[in-house]
Amino acid sequence: MKKLCAMLAMVLALALVGACAETAATPIYDCGDYTYILLEDGAAQIVCWDGPDAELTVPAELDGYRVTSISESAFCDCQDLVSVTLPEGIRDIGEFAFADCDNLCRVDLPEGLISLGDCAFDHCEGLTEIALPDSLREVGANPFHSCANLFDIFVSPDHEYLATIDGVLFSKPDRRLVCYPMGYSAGRYSVPEGVLDIGAMAFDRDLYLEEIVLPKSLVSIGDEAFNGCEGLRTMNLPAGVKSIGADAMRCKNLTITFEGDQNEWQLAGLESVKNEA
């Protein structure tokens, strides 16, 4: 599995670079346990790591090139990893970068990090808490998807782009609920008024949630937002909801009501759900 993830990481990295280049394929370099490519600005992007370390400190440079990013799936399925410390030069962490690192329980994200990709720490079941730096301003679809034991996401109260309210992670610019930690055991949750979007996979496969209260301000619900929440029983959709993503509410025990009229209900994509409002 690790080799498969490594190959995927390199293919994705080369595809991204190749899309912008008109010349030959971008060279791939090895430095110890790391495989990397060089970006247009001369910085290194890690596309694979295949080392034995349990406690890893990622270097700030590889072969003299500063490391500024980690590509998709670069550390995927590194089962021996327990802790990771990233250097301050890292600006971007790609999609699924640390996915399926089951034993990863501590991650030190550096100040200077700008973006965190979709499902970056997908299925990191050992992760119980994480602190997000003040520099982080771009957060993809639930970076902590399926982190079954995640309880705490720490964000500075003065953070310009992110906020945590009762431990739940929000993106301020788009007023999006990003991640409802899977480690929470509360049966009922009320999304704060003012939230416009329930992000993709934000509650996906939550084990404890039985009732969700959605705000009047809500406009959209992302793909798989509540997918597999088998304990979820009731949901009342506000009339302002205009967009509902694929498999957003695929829950076998869920009863949905809708506040809008029949026309609004159909526009929101709820043709298959009985309007009981």
**Can you give the residue ranges of every domain in the chain?**
1-150, 163-277
Query: CATH number of the domain at 1-150, please?
Result: 3.80.10.10
Residue 161's closest CA among 139, 140, 179?
139
Options 3.80.10.10, 3.30.590.10, 3.40.50.300, 2.60.40.1080; CATH of 163-277? 3.80.10.10
Q: Looking at residue 97, what DSSP letter applies? A: T
Contacts of 141 (CB under 8 A, 6+ apart): 118, 119, 199, 200, 201, 222, 223
* Class of residue 199 by CB neighbours under 10 A (exposed 0-12, middle 13-18, buried 19+): buried
Read off the pLDDT of residues 196-244 as tens digits, 9 standing for 90 and up.
Answer: 999 999 999 998 999 999 999 999 999 999 999 999 999 999 989 988 9
Q: Which helix (H) or strand (E) is 8 found in, with range?
A: helix 2-20
Please determine, for residue 3, whether its predicted confidence score (pLDDT) is greater than 50: no
d(CA 157, CA 164): 8
* Number of neighbours of residue 130 by Cβ within 10 angstroms: 21
Please determine, for residue 11, whether its predicted confidence score (pLDDT) is greater than 70: no
Categorize the per-residue pLDDT at 277 as very low, low, confident or very high, splitting at 50, 70 and 90.
very low
The predicted pLDDT at position 267 comes to 65
The predicted pLDDT at position 133 comes to 98
Q: Which two tokens stand for residue 90?
A: 């890292």
Please determine, for residue 17, whether its predicted confidence score (pLDDT) is greater than 60: no
d(CA 51, CA 123): 20
Strands 61-62 and 83-85: unpaired
For the chain, give me the number of helices (H) and strands (E)?
Answer: 2, 23
- pLDDT (average), residues 63-92: 97
d(CA 154, CA 54): 24
8 Å CB contact between 253 and 229: no
Q: Do the domains at 1-150 and 163-277 have one common CATH topology?
A: yes
Please determine, for residue 109, whether its predicted confidence score (pLDDT) is greater than 70: yes
The predicted pLDDT at position 271 comes to 53
Please determine, for residue 268, whether its predicted confidence score (pLDDT) is greater than 90: no
Give me the percent of the chain exceeding a pLDDT of 90. 77
